Structure 1
Amino acid sequence: MNLPARHQLRSLVTAVAVTLTLALAGIAGCEGQQDPGPPSVREKLRESHIDGQPVLRIGVSAEDPENGAFVDFEREIAKYIAKNLGYEGADIEYHPLNTEERITALQSGQVDLVISSFSMTEEREKDVLFAGPYFVTTQEVLVPRKLKDRVRTIEDLRDPQLKVCSSGGSTTEDELKERGIQPRLVMNVSDCVRGMRAGKYDVVSSDKAILAGFLSLYPEEFEIVDMPFGTTEKLGVGVPIGDPALRDLVAYFLGKSHEQGRKTGNSPWLTAYQTTLGRWLEADLPQPPPHDVPDLVDFDDKAPTR
């Protein structure tokens, strides 16, 4: 073989080797760029502000312990979420909050979560993050049994002789005023109920779930009247606006319970509802599907350790 032929062969072998090397490097690069998959629950916990905290602080209704079944229901939901975040028993602090204190308590860092009849609205989403809903309800009224025939419609509520009570800073207050009804405003719905029992007010308007809680305490005194307000209240778990990781975790655990209930007919949510509010509302009410549930990897069903 002459020199030019050898040179051509050597060049060809070199080109093939270079091409093979580049191809292998490309394959390795593609393998390195493969989708790592969804994050795990533990990874999300490390991203959240509660990572390493010895105590989980949950804002709850200041109605407690005066609202029977509804407070019991929300407490059970709070315990379920806390357990999945790795907190049980003495590791959980409950902070009673009035309606107007909920957003401030999250913004100031007083609490880590709020589970307190917190309606998910666009206006509030400017200040807090929501996971949920964990309950969907409607606005109704609670009246003494002696007035059940007098108070049947929204038009009846416009009677200036009728003293309608509601909590200030609530979506109920806004709805009443939009309907031309001027309510007497107090700090908490429990103040309305105490006032109605004392003859100070004639009607209490709030979420049906909250009213059912008071009905569970005074079943012989009051009655819930369904009103065609047309407003559906989606109650969610409030999370600080700067902690999307914690929001995702709460949404994931609510979604996990929802899927369990849908597939098996039993779940932590259904147990909580049926043993509390289900005695006073629809017994077979299903858990509402939570919004924007993230895809996370849950290694096991045990509470993550801190």
Structure 2
Amino acid sequence: MRPASFEYHKAVDIEDAVRLLAEFGEEGRPIAGGQSLVPMMNLRLARPGHLVDINALPMTDIEFDDRTMRIGALVRHEEYGRDPRIGKHFPALLDAVHWIGHPTIRRHGSIGGSLSHADPTAELPAAAILYDASMVVRSLGGERRIAAVDFFESAYVTTLEPGELLVAVEFPIPPRSSAGSFMEIGERVGDFAIASVGAHLEFEQATITRAALVCCGADLVAIRAPEIEAFLVGKTLDAPQAVEVGRRFAAMVDPSGDHIASADYKRALIGELTRRAVEAACARAIESK
């Protein structure tokens, strides 16, 4: 199929982009790599009247300070997936990047595009929620930050308002004594996930002092598990009771079955992926000591 007709506009800077998006309102959509938007347009699941090309905008840097990593919205998956600082500070994010689609998608797709698309099975929304990231958003009215947990409203729906543009995502840098992992299962390599689970652990000596868990495949957005995270605190890295953690996460979720997997299968899969993610994060923590 071919997309419905639209008008193309190339923004020259961020101010120009948000001006165009404000002018077009609900009919305007920014486009960079187009790895998600273009297929949806071809299937006529998305019918924007105006596309605003943002590829020329200065949103391609990865910046670190003592407290925060800031990734510009136009940084391609392949680029930040190669940055050694990502693996050092955010191992679950690095794991997640390797699960994104195929090499061509990782080469052309951008972090801002994936986050704004808000696919409920996508890896990056889950990683952003896992690491308590914030979305930096620009409009004619200025700049605001939206916590990742508040940014994703439903499948393919975010809290971005018409005329707003995601320009960067900021991750608070975890303490040095931390580790993480991200596990996923799909029908084939590069397919959308049936389910995925991310784990982030902070520790002192051999004891977990803080934990974060996130999963996709159980709801219209990636979900955290605060009560199960609290259960992990105080456990030792060599005996985190990962099987019990997985059992509790599986009991907590209520996925819907589809043509690929039943609800019971997804629930069991989330439990198993949780066990594996926690055990992998603990193994990495022990290796780093």
- What TM-score comes out, normalization by structure 1 length? 0.25
Structure having the larger proportion of residues in strand: 2
Structure having the larger proportion of residues in helix: 1
Determine which structure has greater relative contact order: mean sequence separation of CA pairs < 8 Å that are 6+ residues apart, divided by chain length.
1
- What TM-score comes out, normalization by structure 2 length? 0.26
Q: Which has the larger radius of gyration?
A: 1
